[in-house]
Amino acid sequence: MTWLITGGAGYIGAHVVAETQKSGRNVVILDDLSTGLESRVPDSATLVNIAITDQKAVRKLFADHEIHGVLHLAARKQVGESIERPDYYWSENVHGLQVLLDAMSEANVRKLVFSSSAAVYGQPEITGDAMITETTTCKPINPYGATKLVGEWYAQAKTVSDGMSVAALRYFNVAGAGRPEFGDVFTFNLVPLIFDAITHDRAPRIYGDNYPTPDGTCIRDYIHVQDLAEAHVAAMDLVDSRDASFEAINIGTGRGSSVREVIDMVIDVTGLTITPEIIERRIGDPAALVADVSKARATLDWTSRYDLHDIVDSAWKAWQLKG
Ligand SMILES: NC(=O)c1ccc[n+]([C@@H]2O[C@H](COP(=O)([O-])OP(=O)(O)OC[C@H]3O[C@@H](n4cnc5c(N)ncnc54)[C@H](O)[C@@H]3O)[C@@H](O)[C@H]2O)c1
């Protein structure tokens, strides 16, 4: 059985490709290599190097390969860039999905796992230690989050019109590496940002230490990319077992770590002396964002296995390989 993995040459995609193959499924990858790396694509998978927005090429891909289902990861993911270039984000993330869904309908492919994001929640109004559930109001605060929420709505509409079965996985903060060569090569997220700072002899930055959290710094839910990849296999099983169904599912650990705790873990793992610089809060940073993962447990029979030490340790090994 062949699954199409869009964005399979990317950071998360490479891990998902490996786990999908391990589960016995055949893989075709659609990737334009804009942020992905060909070196992450295994010889055992077919790479189709096209843009997701190229309707003719995407339709041809479905005509050339017998695709059973799709894991759709190909997208732009930088919040700041999405604020500067909303048209580009709507074109890549929303029109790209439109081209894909259209080609799926034409080819009668009805199974979809969609890479969504905790960004759909925006700044949720939660108090104290409350966690974010899938019924927490979705109110994205940037174009990136909006494209993910619209993507969910669009895919959900296809469950009614075409009988598609869809799982939208709302990833929380993805970090770590399942293999050193699959590490995140960009510096947009906290762990690589800390590594980048210490590698260049700069102090890592903490944006505000006066939040209503135990140590004053923001709390997020860091999920190991290997755990996340395994959740995709469970999601493929879920969409395979259902017809005309939509589920949005939080993928996190259910545990929060503060920025200071992450920096302390980097100190622990690297053995380096690190003194962070405290600067102004960033606009739109909620104090704490932690996933309630009970739905993932119930619907996917999946829970995370790795902790913050595993995440930082594996990410550091991958970072060193980067050179
Ligand atoms: N990394 C995170 O923390 C995080 C959190 C939440 C959601 N996500 C989502 O997970 C998915 C994968 O993210 P990632 O971190 O692996 O990013 P990434 O940039 O490493 O991977 C994206 C992949 O998609 C490909 N791609 C992008 N636009 C394309 C297009 N128009 N046509 C064809 N291929 C295209 C890129 O070449 C790359 O290989 C994205 O949908 C992202 O929004 C990521």
pLDDT in tens, 205-246: 999 999 999 999 999 999 999 999 999 999 999 999 999 999
Whether the pLDDT of residue 280 is over 90: the answer is yes
Tell me the residue type at 110.
R
Quote the strand ranges of the chain, DSSP E: 2-6, 26-30, 46-48, 67-72, 111-117, 165-171, 173-175, 205-207, 219-220, 222-224, 245-251, 257-258, 277-279, 288-289
d(CA 279, CA 311): 25
Q: What are phi and psi of 195, to 5 degrees?
A: -60, -40
Q: Is the dihedral of CA 223, 229, 234, 239 positive or negative?
A: positive
Mean pLDDT in residue range 27-51: 97
Ligand 1 pocket test, pick from 5, 15, 88, 115 with the greatest ligand atom count within 8 Å of Cβ, gives 115
- Indicate the pTM of the whole model: 0.97
Nearest CA to ligand 1 atom 32: 51
Tell me the residue type at 230.
E
| Range scoring the smallest mean pLDDT among 108-112, 116-120, 270-274 | 270-274
Give the closest residue to 214 by CA, choosing from 174, 271, 176, 264.
Answer: 264
Domain 176-221+254-322 has CATH 3.90.25.10: yes
Whether the pLDDT of residue 304 is over 70: the answer is yes
- Which is the closest atom of ligand 1 to the Cα of 34? 37
Quickly count: other Cβ atoms within 10 Å of residue 83's Cβ.
14
Q: How far is the CA of 1 from the centre of ligand 1 (A)?
A: 24
The answer to whether 144 is a known catalytic residue is yes
Q: How far is the CA of 271 from the centre of ligand 1 (A)?
A: 32
Tell me the residue type at 227.
D
Residue 322 has what pLDDT?
77
The CATH superfamily of 2-174+222-251 is: NAD(P)-binding Rossmann-like Domain (3.40.50.720)
Burial, 298: exposed, middle or buried (Cβ in 10 Å; 0-12, 13-18, 19+)?
Answer: exposed
Residue 129 has what pLDDT?
73
Q: Where in the chain is the domain with CATH 3.90.25.10?
A: 176-221+254-322
Q: Where in the chain is the domain with CATH 3.40.50.720?
A: 2-174+222-251
Spatial CB neighbours of 83, under 8 Å, sequence gap ≥ 6: 142, 143
Residue 323 has what pLDDT?
64
